[in-house]
Every structure is written in C-alpha cells, then in structure tokens.
Amino acid sequence: MKVDVHKIEEPEQPDVSRTKEAAETFLSNVARVIVGKRKTMELLFVSLLTEGHVLLEDVPGVGKTLLAKAAAKSLDCSFRRIQCTPDLLPSDVVGISFFNQKTSEFEFRQGPIASNIVLVDEINRAMPRTQSCLLECMQEQQVTVDLETVQLPRPFMLLATQNPIELEGTFPLPEAQLDRFLLKIELGYPSPQEEASVLSRFQQESPLEDLPCVLSSQDLLDLQHLCRKVYVETSVREYIVAVTRATREHSEMKLGASPRAALGLQAASQAFAAIQGRNYVIPDDVKYLAGPVLSHRTITRTEAVLKGRSAEQIIEEILSTVPVPVE
C-alpha cells in the first residue's frame, strides 16, 4: 500500500503555557529567599522538570543549603536532609532491616533517602562506601537492603552540596556518581547591591520561615510528563550527539561525556524550552545547557590543567566549532 507522506500527521505538540506559568511562580517564590541568581534557580527548576539530580558546588556561605531548602519548601513534597560525615554509614541513608519481637519477623525501616526531595549536605565528606549506596537511588529510584528492593517515592530528586576548596577530611566523588548528576551548578558571590539586599532581607528573621508551597507533587509529575513531549527535531538531536561526541574526541579531554550525558542534555533542553513557552527545542537551548550538563562528566588532561584550561572552557570551544543546525 502506498503511503501519502503529505497526510502523515505531525507529532502532537503539547501546550507548555502551564509549564511557563509554573516556572515563574516557582522562581518568584524562591526569589523571596534567594537574592538574584535567577539563572541558578532556573537551572534548578529544569532539573525538577526532568527528575534529575543537582550538584551544588561552591565555597561556604554563598547560600547552597538555603537554596535547596527554599526549593524544597516551595513544593508540597516530603523533604529530608542528610548531613554527611566520615562516620556516616550506608544504613544511615537507605535504612535497616530489624527483627520485630512483637511480630517475630524482620521488618525494613526506611532511611531519610525515602523522600521526594533529599538534601545531601557536603556529600564529599561521606566515605566512598556511603557514597556508593546512592548510585542505585540516583539512577533507578530504588534501594536494595538484605535482598529486598524498595521503590522510592516519586518525584525523587537529590540535591547535593559540596565545598571545592576544603580537601582535608573529604573523599572525591567517583566518576560513576558524578555522571548521575544532571547538572552541576555554582552560585558565586553576590554583587554589592545583591549583598546589601541580603543584609536587609535577613536583618530581623529569615524569609524561609514563612515561605509558602506553590506546587504540589502531582503538579510536578504532570509537568514532567508534559516536558517529555516537547518536540526535538532530528537535526537538533544530531547536534546534541555531535557536541557530546566532540568531548570524547577533543585532544585536551581525558574522558568525554557519556551517552547518559546526551540523554540528560536532551531532557534538560526539552524542559528549558517548555519554561521559555516553546513546545520545541532549538540549538540555543542545547548551547545554554551544555556547560552545566557536561562539564562535571568530563576529565581534562593534566597538560591542559597546567595551562589553566577548565572543562567549561573546552566545552565553550567545542560549542563554537561544532556546526549549528539551521533551517
């Protein structure tokens, strides 16, 4: 049977106006606590829409934990905080099986990881054994204890903070774990005007105390499903592949981005397009997100590091050389 290509229906285009409105509501609410940093808050919401995980890396005192708590309080989701120390055990995170003398049976008591939003504070202070227990949680949204597998609640998002300056008493995150973070975000110091606003805003009491909830967990799940329908044209998908592969072939890269990174870049681009009110992805979305999505998944060669070259700079160079698809 001959098929008339002119009658083939285009993929259904979702109405993303609801996503744009939700983004503005969320950003405005978090901005009641966090001064400035709109790009950072926007990237955090992109991660929420893709059910990805975020690594907040910056020096102490710039508001990493405050941002995570403000984002969690803006959502009607369960929230737990895990303070990482060298003596933190995997059972302190995922839970334990114990013998209940009343029922004469073993029961599983879930740990703090069984929440919608989990803040893992100073993740690099946990020993490798404890860090590794998060791998299954981050990738498969489940935990396995004593041959029993328990699904984690959805949506599930892990927000981890780490201080890149202090090295004493810390354990570097393995590449397998870094690759499971969708985005790495840095806050940076505020401008003089922003810092003055911080002093004024927090002079009497923290605005975090009475921060309202603006999105329910079901709203977030619906928005996540909607973002997955945002259209990605073939040439844009090929552009994502080209950028990802270029990190593996660059002479100054020892380790390039993985296929999981390409999937993350596509999903993040879909969410970012929806936030902008578009139901299709454009190459500029990919270029905007390539740094936060790819930089922490790569390893720069020692020679490049000695020259002062960072992964972010190399990715910017790649973006300037890989041909951008045009109509």
Tens of pLDDT, residue by residue over 5-27, are 343 344 567 777 888 888 899 99
**Predicted pLDDT at 327:** 63
pLDDT greater at residue 315 or residue 10: 315
Q: Residue 241 — very low, low, confident or very high, per pLDDT cuts 50/70/90?
A: very high
Is the same domain home to 60 and 178?
A: yes
Is the same domain home to 149 and 234?
A: no
Residue span of the structural domain in which 28 resides:
20-200
Q: How many domains does the chain have?
A: 2
* CATH code of residue 249: 1.10.8.80
Per-residue pLDDT averaged across 189-196, rounded? 86
- pLDDT over threshold 90, residue 243: yes
- pLDDT over threshold 90, residue 173: no
Confirm whether 256 is domain-assigned: yes
Confirm whether 283 is domain-assigned: yes
**Predicted pLDDT at 66:** 86
**Predicted pLDDT at 286:** 92
Is the same domain home to 158 and 293?
A: no
**Predicted pLDDT at 5:** 36
pTM: 0.85
**Predicted pLDDT at 240:** 94
What percent of the chain stands above pLDDT 70? 95
Per-residue pLDDT averaged across 206-220, rounded? 85
Is the same domain home to 160 and 286?
A: no
| Contact predicate 309/318, CB 8 Å | no
Q: CB-based contacts of 190: which residues, under 8 Å, 6+ apart? A: 35, 36, 37, 62, 198
* CA dist 47 → 2, 43, 55, 239 (Å): 44, 6, 11, 21
Confirm whether 188 is domain-assigned: yes
Confirm whether 213 is domain-assigned: no
**Predicted pLDDT at 270:** 93
pLDDT greater at residue 63 or residue 13: 63
Is the same domain home to 144 and 256?
A: no
- The pLDDT tens digits for 103-140 are 777 777 888 888 888 999 888 898 888 888 888 888 88
What is the CB neighbour count within 10 angstroms for residue 220? 23
Confirm whether 11 is domain-assigned: no
Is the same domain home to 172 and 291?
A: no
Is the same domain home to 158 and 64?
A: yes
- pLDDT over threshold 90, residue 268: yes
* CATH code of residue 138: 3.40.50.300
Per-residue pLDDT averaged across 151-156, rounded? 88
Is the same domain home to 44 and 160?
A: yes
The bridge status of strand 79-83 relative to strand 95-100 is unpaired
Per-residue pLDDT averaged across 253-263, rounded? 89
E strand segments, the chain: 54-57, 75-76, 79-83, 95-100, 105-110, 117-121, 142-145, 148-151, 157-162, 183-185, 215-216, 253-255, 299-300
- pLDDT over threshold 50, residue 4: no
**Predicted pLDDT at 6:** 41
- pLDDT over threshold 90, residue 96: no
Is the same domain home to 132 and 254?
A: no
- pLDDT over threshold 70, residue 180: yes
**Predicted pLDDT at 9:** 42
Task: Write phi, then psi, for 250 (nearest 5 degrees).
Answer: -70, 140
- The pLDDT tens digits for 291-314 are 999 989 888 888 888 888 888 888
**Predicted pLDDT at 3:** 38
Summary mean pLDDT of the chain: 85
Instruction: Compute the residue count for the chain.
Output: 327
Is the same domain home to 24 and 170?
A: yes
**Predicted pLDDT at 12:** 63
| Contact predicate 35/194, CB 8 Å | yes
